[in-house]
Structure formats: C-alpha cells, structure tokens
Structure 1
C-alpha cells in the first residue's frame, strides 16, 4: 500500500473507488467499510483508496474540542494496509478546504482530484462546510455522474454502534481488553525510550521509560501488554502513572519487557495493551513492591500466552 500526502503523487490511483473518513483507531466499523471498498474496487478492477485528513478538520474548526487520538497516521496506515487497500491518501486539511460547500467538495475533491469511479461510506458520513452534506446527498450526486455508491452498514457491539468516541471512553477507563474487541485488534501505544531513575533495574525488573506518546493513554494503573522489538512480541508489564512507594509524584509510562535482554534507549517502542492488571498503590517497602512485581509478571506472562493461543 502507498501512503500519499500530496495530491501531486496521487495520479496512479485516480479513477478508483474511495472511502473518505477520519478512520481513527481503524475499528470494526471502519474495517467493514474498507472491506466493502476493496470488494467494489476489485469488481471494477480499479484501485481502492482510503482518504483521511491531517490534521482532522475539528482541529481547525474548534481546537478545544479535538479528542485524543487512537492512532497515529503511521499506525492507521499499517492497519488499513492489512485490509488490502491500495492507497491511503492523507489530505492536508486547511481552511480553504473546510469552506467548500458539499457541491464544491464533490466537484473539486471527488470528481477532479480523485476522479473517483465509486464511493463507499458509512451511514453517518458528513461532508462539506459545516457538515451540510450527508450520505443521501452524496448518493444523489454520485448517481448524477454514473458513479457507483455504497453505504456500509454500521457495526454493533453490546447493542451499540461501534464508534471511535465509545472506544476512547473505554480506554480512558482502563478497559483496554473491551476496547480491543471493538477495535478488532489490540490498542497500541508507541513512544521513544528515554533514560529513567533506574529503580526497576535495582529491583530486578528493568523498565523502558516511554516518552512522546501521541495517542490516548488509559487511566493510571498496571497493565499487561505485548511489546514489539524487531518484529518479536515480548510480554510486558506497564506502569502508567506515579510511583507512590518511592514518593515519586511524576507521571511516567514504564514498560518491563519479560524475557528481553538488550538496550532500548532512544529506540521507538510499540506496546499492545491487553488488560488492566491492578491499581497503582503504595507498598510498605522495596521488598513488598518486588514481591508484587513478581506476581504481576507471572500473571502477565500467562495473559500473553493466552492471547497468543487465540491467534
């Protein structure tokens, strides 16, 4: 799959089938829509393109209302590529673009820039200035230009439509295993490994201190996860928050990779969050903390083995 950020590079994919959306998290609803997109593109023997925006339009319209992201552009591209999409077009949002009426959006973007042969959207798709256009209007415009148009049905979990906003609430509450069910894949965080206080090494549980995480973090606590190093997944214990045992009130994200030996400093590290393990709490001393960490590691190792067996 090609990741394209400039319309000048889009020429090889003009005349394809397109889905337009934010695709934050690439959850089950997005996946259903993109699978429909691929099916229609293959039927017409044309490229399948997903078009998203960077920054998201709300960042220019109402910056105070921008929700924390579930995925970086790179993670979004990785997930979308796994569905068979040929091109992810990351459109550089600007105020001129946001002023386009629905009719101008269709003519300028869909017909001229993309030369789309077909469109696939979800039932809650809106486009154009102030979100004035909806799927009914898009269907009408597409029909007027002999363009294929399909609406992928919403996907439900627990009697509720799967949405990025619902998944954000789950992750914020620490329900990362439930969020994974709605996403269709584990929730991943990525950051740069930086030097920490090295207390974990003294305790026998060396940690990688992650900084620069650009996506939503779950609430404070200890989590079980899978950390990826050179394509290999290692069971991982994550502590998100402060360290009250050592009276350290600084917020940190510390990752202990179970079974890994090596230097991770200054490397990019990605961790899939599998489950909430326990609350962060103050222990009487370092020995009590060490005993609890041993229990955490045993529990997380079993958790990772259970997840591996399912896949």
Structure 2
C-alpha cells in the first residue's frame, strides 16, 4: 500500500505526544493534519494520507497525523477493550510510510473526552498545532459528547481560513473498508480478506519467550509469543512469515490454547521452515498469510504429528505460491 503524499522527513520525530498547553516546536507546527484513530492503517487511511499529502503540497508544507492513544472505545468500555490491529509503535511507523510524520498523539482519557468540540478545534488544532489544513473521514466525530462533526470542522476551521477536506467512504473491490471489518475478518480467521482490506498482510510484533519445549520433542521447535489480551484472532493453524534480521521466512503457526496439552493461556507458536537459529528474547514480526484449519484436540501425540506434517506441507505450498512482500 503506497501513498503519493510527501515522504516523511528523515529529521522528523515519528511521534510527538501532545500534553495540554504544551508548546509544540515551531518546526512541527503548520502541518496539514490527517485526523483519526488509524487503527490498522488500512486502505481507507491511505486515502486520507493521499489527500493530506496533496493538500500539503499545495500549501507548501508537509502532512502529519493526529491520533489518539489508547483507543477511545477502550477508555469508555475497559471491560471490553478494542481488538487493536496496530499497537502504537506499529501504527506510527505505518503512518510515516504513508507520508504522515510525525504522528501527534493525544493521550486519550475522560478529561480529553470532555473537551468541547469548539475548544478542540480552536485551542488544539488551530492554536497549539497551528494546522495549515485538516483532513478527516466522513464519520469523524470529536469533542464532548462527540458533538464535533466534519461539517462543524469545516465551518469553524474555514472561518479561520483553514481548508478542511472530508474523505468519503472508501471502497476496495466494491466493499467499504473499515477497521471494524478488518477485525471481523480476523475474528473469523479470514486473514486473506483482512489483507485485502489493509493493503498488506496483517502482522503482529512481540518478543520470543521460552515455552515448554514440547514442539522440539515432536520435531517442530517453535518460537513462542504472547499476543495482546485484546487479540481476538480466531484460534487455529496459519501459514505465516516471520521477519528475522530483516528477512521474511516461511513457516506455520498455531494460535490458541493448546487443547491437546494444557488448554492454557492463548499464545502464538511458530515453526519457521529450514531455520535453526536462537530467537529467545528477540522481537520479531509474524505476518499471517492463510488460515489452514481450526484448533483441534488430538487423542495421541502420533496423531498430532501426522496432522502437523500435513499442515506444514500445506503451508509450504501456499507460501511458495505467495509473492514475497516487504513490510
């Protein structure tokens, strides 16, 4: 997924946390700001970046993102945290690749949620950040009670001479693109559909931890990773690629509770084909290419090994036919 927007300036920090009344360095003010949660950084977000980049070029400046952490819905419903597609560091990096840099991050809490929409525009967007232009999606709402709308933003910023572009619903192959639809696809295990909406395979990042070494005894040593608690990827077996030292290597992974053994806390266990290096303690990315089957409990270890052989062969075949990708 690419953007024609201006490339991120190498000297710009990737993220800048906004605190109330905190001065923003002069060289970071005066940007065209793309506004949103940007979870997943999908094709629709890439369109916002494209529009922001074009507006920035017209106004002789560069484009940046304004986003919120944590996700506002998680603040209001902590018992039902949002399934985050891209944690903050990944989101910031992906936005920078789209030409939005830095990402101005508003630490979202109930106090921020209580800021009147008018003050959000006047004091933060136009005052603190000195925005040269604003870009938002058709469904962007902000301010106390979510009373701020794209129309209100256009009217208020426009009165100050600041242009506002509202991006209509973005569709890909006839289907609307949204973070919610990506989450729904992943919850169903449909990583191919998720990739189509995102414009790239969905991937996770984490540190490789020691496991119980059962995979090694079975002839399938795995690299084990604990994913975020809010991850609702469907339990099952996947054809994957793991990024090791900048190189994507093919493999097969299980995400679930290991019902044949202990039915424990969910974790991701990846067997990397034709690799024997030590990964413990290293942070790696795992990209999901295809769903192979659901999680299952086996009566014997021999039956499990037979199925693992089948899964590995299927994964090798799928990945051999899948073009290499750079993330």
For the superposition of Structure 1 and Structure 2, which TM-score range results when normalised by the shorter chain?
A: over 0.9
Hey, what does 1:197 align to over in structure 2? 212
Separation (CA, whole Å) in 2 of partners of 1:138 and 1:181: 31
Structure 1 residues 59 and 5: alpha-carbon distance in aligned structure 2, compared to 1, 3 A threshold: farther
Hey, what does 1:290 align to over in structure 2? 305
Separation (CA, whole Å) in 1 of partners of 2:213 and 2:111: 50
Say whether the 8 Å CA contact 2:14–2:93 is kept in structure 1: no
Hey, what does 1:38 align to over in structure 2? 53
How far off its partner does 1:82 sit? 1.4
Out of 7-16 and 76-85, give the one that drifted further: 7-16
Structure 1 residues 11 and 306: alpha-carbon distance in aligned structure 2, compared to 1, 3 A threshold: farther
1:98 and 2:109 are equivalent in the alignment: no
Please report the TM-score for the alignment, with normalisation by the length of structure 1: 0.93
Structure 1 residues 45 and 9: alpha-carbon distance in aligned structure 2, compared to 1, 3 A threshold: same
Out of 186-195 and 15-24, give the one that drifted further: 186-195
Separation (CA, whole Å) in 2 of partners of 1:58 and 1:302: 40
Hey, what does 2:5 align to over in structure 1? none
Deviations along 1:168-202, one digit per CA (max 9) or x if unpaired, are 11111111111110111111112221111111111
Hey, what does 2:92 align to over in structure 1? 77
Moved over 6 A (4+): none
How far off its partner does 1:153 sit? 2.1
Hey, what does 2:17 align to over in structure 1? 6
1:268 and 2:283 are equivalent in the alignment: yes
Hey, what does 1:248 align to over in structure 2? 262
Where does the alignment leave 5 or more consecutive residues of structure 1 unmatched? none
How far off its partner does 1:70 sit? 0.8
1:167 and 2:185 are equivalent in the alignment: no
Alignment of 1:126-165 (within 5 A): 126-157=141-172, 159-165=174-180
SS at match of 1:277: strand
How far off its partner does 1:215 sit? 5.6
Say whether the 8 Å CA contact 2:95–2:101 is kept in structure 1: no
Where does the alignment leave 5 or more consecutive residues of structure 2 unmatched? 1-7
How far off its partner does 1:269 sit? 2.1
SS at match of 2:215: helix
How far off its partner does 1:93 sit? 2.1
SS at match of 1:234: strand
Alignment of 1:13-28 (within 5 A): 13-28=28-43
Hey, what does 1:62 align to over in structure 2? 77
Say whether the 8 Å CA contact 2:42–2:179 is kept in structure 1: yes
SS at match of 1:5: strand
Deviations along 1:91-138, one digit per CA (max 9) or x if unpaired, are 222333222111111111111111011011111111111110111111
Q: How many residues align?
A: 310
Tell me how large the CA RMSD over aligned residues is. Answer: 2.0
Query: Structure 1 or 2: larger helix share?
Result: 1
Say whether the 8 Å CA contact 2:31–2:130 is kept in structure 1: yes
Structure 1 residues 64 and 10: alpha-carbon distance in aligned structure 2, compared to 1, 3 A threshold: farther
Query: Structure 1 or 2: larger strand share?
Result: 1
How far off its partner does 1:161 sit? 2.2
Deviations along 1:135-184, one digit per CA (max 9) or x if unpaired, are 11111112211112111221124654211112111111111111110111
Please report the TM-score for the alignment, with normalisation by the length of structure 2: 0.88
Hey, what does 2:3 align to over in structure 1? none
Say whether the 8 Å CA contact 1:3–1:90 is kept in structure 2: no
Say whether the 8 Å CA contact 2:71–2:82 is kept in structure 1: no
Structure 1 residues 33 and 199: alpha-carbon distance in aligned structure 2, compared to 1, 3 A threshold: same
Hey, what does 1:308 align to over in structure 2? 323
